[in-house]
Amino acid sequence: MTRVAIHRSAALFLLLATACGASAAGGADAAGDVAALPGFGQACAAGSCAAGLTCQDSDYAPFPWCTLPCADEKAPCDKTQLGGRAGLCIKMPAGWRGPSEAFCAPTCGNSSQCTPLDGRWETCALPAYKKVPLYGDVGKVCQAPSANGQILVDPVTCNWQDLVSDPKVQALDGICKSFCAFLTTCQIKAQGQTSACCSWQCIQHLTPGGVPDMGRKNALQCYLNSFDGNAQSPNVCSAYINDCGPLCKNDAACDDLDACTTDACRDWQCVNTPIDGCK
């Protein structure tokens, strides 16, 4: 299956982050033959980060990422320890799903400075957890608010069923399996992504903060209805663009300022026009 090189949407960031081109952990050096360890703010798939950094697995983001513990809360972190990148020392409230100590979060001026680190960073905003601000105006950091409150699942097996007791969340398993089958059939799901992990990302998308969101479920159902309704058509894998809206960047007609002011285009993140309404 050919990977579709497209950008993730804001509304479906968790589900489509891999399918729509979220950045991979690590990279290569200038010669192209030596793998580089992931740096500050990047995903750490194997739990290994660049020298001095630690791989944090928490509900701050929907993926383990490289950071650094810090002591001076609300103060800038030492760039020399972050590979030259800027960070802010923040501490999450009691009861969050992560380490008790403060850590460095990537600072930013807008979301376009976060997505090059990883496409699954959702926003650039004042530090917050579950929509509750942590401080006053101390500067903005890269965040993924939809991950707040989510359970932590093994990123390799993505076995979530035994960890979720809420029957309303369990009931979403069917629609997520169907949606992942649609992504696979239409070659939107990336190579190497298992059906189990696709389904878990879908569950995360449908339960921001751990609470089922019927609006998101109905939006997902539209894609399934379009796919099923056009099963005998040569446009089976493209009809959804007109029926429901684009999933990813190369589907979208969101590069015009007027379109980007609409709710639909804000949801699908107009990456070509980084104005305030499209962040």
Q: Write out pLDDT tens, residues 68-101.
A: 999 999 999 999 999 999 999 999 998 888 889 9
By mean pLDDT, which of 33-42, 126-135, 142-151, 233-242 is the weakest? 33-42
By C-alpha distance, which of 8, 119, 11, 4 is closest to 65? 119
Distance (Å, whole) CA 276 – CA 260: 9
Dump pLDDT digits (tens) for 17-48: 444 444 444 544 433 434 588 999 998 866 68
pLDDT at 141 over 90: yes
Per-residue pLDDT for 250 more than 70? Answer: no
Please count the residues of the chain.
279
The CB-based long-range contact list for 210-214 (8 Å cut-off, 24+ gap) reads 210/149, 210/150, 210/151, 210/166, 210/169, 211/149, 212/168, 212/169, 212/172
Alpha helices in 22-165 (DSSP H): none
- Look over the chain and give the mean of its residue pLDDT values, rounded to a whole number: 76
Q: Which residues 6+ apart lie within 8 Å of 32 measured at CB?
A: none
* Tokens, residue 49: 């980060």
Q: How far is it, in rounded angstroms, from Cα 198 to Cα 212?
A: 17
